Amino acid sequence: MTEPLCKRCGEPAVILSRKEHFCSRCFCKFISSKQRKQMMSDPYFQDIFKVMHQDKVRSAEQADAQNSSSRILAPLSLGSSSTVMLDVLNDTLNEQKSTQRGRTGFYVDVLLCYLESEFQDLKNRVEELSAARYRDNQENIKFHFINLESFFDGQEFEKLIINDDYLCSSKLDSDPYNLKDLLEQCPNRSSREDLLTFIIRRLVKRYAYQHNHKAILWGHSMTKLADETMSLVVKGRGEHINSLFDSSQLDQDYGGKFRHLYPLKDVLLSEVDAYCYSAGLDKHLVNYTAQDTLLLQKRCETKASGKLIKNMTINEMVRKYFDDIEGDYSNVISTVVRTADKLAEPKLIEPNVKCSLCQGNIHTRGSEWLQSITINNGCPPETQEDKQLYEKWYESNLRRERDEYLELMKSVSSQGEDAPLCYGCVVTLGGVKNKCVTWPQSTDRELNQTLEEFVLADEED
C-alpha cells in the first residue's frame, strides 16, 4: 500500500484531519493559523497582538508604550487545549522577534489555579514545560500560581439557603470558612464541579482586573465549547450561553477592563490532541491523555471502559457524547458552537439584578416555575405500610438531616433577607448538604482584595 503523503508539502503524512493528510509540521501550521485568525478577529484584538510602529497615528514612544501595555491573561490547566493555545502564542512571539527586529507586540501572563495538595507537582511540571518550550521568551511569558483557597481570603461571607418553595434567603456569616469546608458540603459531584467552576472563573477575572490585562484567552476547543453549551442547557443555565461566548464586548462586571477570547473555537479537541503529539507536548499534560484518533500510527493502548453513566457529572456525560461522535459527526459539534455563538441574551426581568451565587444576570423567576410543577407538602401516613415506612424514616439519618436543615433554614430566614438566585443555581444548591452554602459577598472589596500569588521566576531572582 502506498504511503500517504502530506497534501501541502509532499512529505510522509502522519495525521488525517478533515479528509486531508498532513505531516507534523504542516498540521501544526494549520492549527496555528486557526488560532491566529481568532487573535486577529477584530480591531480590538489586532491592537493587542500586532507589533505597533511609528505611523501617522502614533509616535515611536506611543507605539512602544502600546506594545509594552498589551498584556493578556492565559489560564492554564495543563490539559491539551490550554497547553496548545500557549504554544501557539509562544510561536507567534518567536515569529514577531524574527521578523520585527526583536520587537514583540504583547506579553502573556499564564495563570494556574491550584489546590494546596497539588502545588508542588504542578510547579515542577510547569518548570519542565517552561524550560523545554519557553526559555527564549521568558521576558514575554510569565507563569503565576493562585491558590483556590484565596477565593475565601479576607472576604465577608453570607450563608445562602433555599427553602421547600425554592426561594433563597441569605444571612451574614462571620465564621471563618475555607475551600475544604465548601467541598465537604457537596456530596453531589455535579454541584461540586459547578462551584469549583464559579471559583476559578471569578479568580481568573479578578486577577485580570487587578493587573490591567486587556484580554483573557480561554483555551477551549470547539468540542469543549459545544460541551459547555449543552451542559449549560441541561443544568438550566441556557440563559448564560451568550455571556460565555461573547468576545465582542468588554466585561462590564469587572470595570470594562478586558474582553474574553476563545482562540481555538474553530479547532476540534481531536485536532488539538494531534497537535500535542506532533509538537511533543503530550508528555507535559497533567491529568489528561491526548487522543490519538487522527494519528495514522496510534500511540495509546485501547482504552478500558470508563465510568458508569450514573457516576458521571453532567459535564462528563456531555463530554463523553461529543467524544463518541467527534470522529464521524464532527459537523454536529460545529453546528452547536455556531448556533450558540448567535444566541442573544434574554431580556432581563429587573436590571442590575445578579444571581447571589454565580453572579450571572437573572432572566427568569425559576422558583415560580419550580413551584408550579412540584408538590412539596407531605401527606400523613394512612395504611399500615405507610406507618412502617414512616417509622423507618424517623429512626434514620434522613430524618436527622431534615431536622438539621429545617433548623438552619429557620435561623437564616428569620434573621436574613431574600437573595436572588438563578434557576441553575437553585438546582446546584439542591445538590449541596442542607441546600445551603457559605459564599463570599460580591462587592468592590472582593475585586480589590489583592490575590497572593507565586511567580515561577521568584526563586530565580
The mean of the pLDDT values for the chain is 91
> 452: domain CATH number?
3.40.50.620
Q: Is the pLDDT of residue 300 over 80?
A: no
Residue 297 backbone dihedrals phi, psi, to 5 degrees:
-115, 115
* Confidence bin at 1 (pLDDT 50/70/90): low
Q: What's the average model confidence in pLDDT over 16-27?
A: 96
Q: Is the pLDDT of residue 335 over 50?
A: yes
Q: Is the pLDDT of residue 460 over 60?
A: no
Residue 370 backbone dihedrals phi, psi, to 5 degrees:
-65, -40
pLDDT confidence of residue 170? 92
Whole-structure pTM value: 0.91
Q: How many CB atoms lie within 10 A of CB 48?
A: 24
Q: What's the average model confidence in pLDDT over 174-183?
A: 89
Does any domain span residue 333? yes
Q: What's the average model confidence in pLDDT over 376-395?
A: 90
Range of the domain at 321: 38-154+178-300+308-348+443-459
pLDDT confidence of residue 108? 98
Q: Is the pLDDT of residue 452 over 90?
A: no
Does any domain span residue 382? no
Q: What's the average model confidence in pLDDT over 292-296?
A: 94
The order of strands in the sheet holding 71-75 is 259-261, 215-217, 71-75, 107-114, 141-147, 453-455
Q: Residues 434, 159: contact at Cβ < 8 Å?
A: no
Does any domain span residue 45? yes
pLDDT confidence of residue 97? 95
Does any domain span residue 292? yes
411 against 205, higher pLDDT: 205
What is the gyration radius of the CA atoms in the chain, in angstroms? 25
Burial of 246 by CB count in 10 Å (0-12 exposed, 13-18 middle, 19+ buried)? middle
Does any domain span residue 399? no
The tens digit of pLDDT for each residue in 115-142 reads 999 999 999 999 999 999 999 999 999 9
* Confidence bin at 368 (pLDDT 50/70/90): confident
Does any domain span residue 423? no
Coil/strand/helix, residue 98: helix
* Confidence bin at 325 (pLDDT 50/70/90): confident
Q: What's the average model confidence in pLDDT over 144-153?
A: 94
* Confidence bin at 265 (pLDDT 50/70/90): very high
pLDDT confidence of residue 26? 98
Alpha carbon of 326 to those of 29, 143, 257, 333: distances in Å? 22, 33, 36, 7
The tens digit of pLDDT for each residue in 200-223 reads 999 999 999 999 999 999 999 999
Q: Residues 325, 332: contact at Cβ < 8 Å?
A: yes
Q: What's the average model confidence in pLDDT over 19-35?
A: 97
Does any domain span residue 434? no
Does any domain span residue 263? yes
The tens digit of pLDDT for each residue in 71-92 reads 999 999 999 999 999 999 999 9
The number of distinct structural domains making up the chain is 1
pLDDT confidence of residue 176? 86
* Confidence bin at 293 (pLDDT 50/70/90): very high
CA–CA separation, 182 vs 429, rounded Å?
Answer: 12
* Confidence bin at 461 (pLDDT 50/70/90): very low
Q: What's the average model confidence in pLDDT over 168-182?
A: 90
pLDDT confidence of residue 302? 56
Q: What percent of the chain has pLDDT over 90?
A: 68
56 against 72, higher pLDDT: 72
Q: Is the pLDDT of residue 8 over 90?
A: yes
412 against 300, higher pLDDT: 412
pLDDT confidence of residue 301? 65
Residue 215 backbone dihedrals phi, psi, to 5 degrees:
-155, 150
Instruction: For residue 415, give the C-alpha cell.
Output: 434573621
